[in-house]
Amino acid sequence: MAVRHMNQIELAARWNISHRTLERWRWTGEGPKFLKMGGRVVYRLEDIEAFEVERSRDSTTVQDGAR
């Protein structure tokens, strides 16, 4: 099974955010795991999906980490 990767432009389009937001998140450690090979940054699809699951919420009143 091949591992699927997305670059920051593709991921920004998936989440409808600026690619600059992803750059800032990499700098601050807030975003999903990423790989950097040379000057190229890519995200594994499995890491993107895990990040999405970790941030899914049932309510705006639920604190981070609590469900």
Compute the average pLDDT of residues 6-23. Answer: 96
Per-residue pLDDT at 43? 97
Average pLDDT over the chain reads: 90
Q: How far from 9 is each of 22, 26, 64, 65, CA to CA, in Å?
A: 9, 14, 27, 29
At 5-14, the pLDDT tens digits run 999 999 999 9
Q: Where are the domains of the chain?
A: 5-54
DSSP3 helix / strand / coil % (the chain, rounded to 5): 40, 15, 40
Compute the average pLDDT of residues 17-44. Answer: 95
Query: 24 vs 62, which has greater pLDDT?
Result: 24
Q: How confident is the model at residue 57 (pLDDT cuts 50, 70, 90)?
A: confident
pTM: 0.81
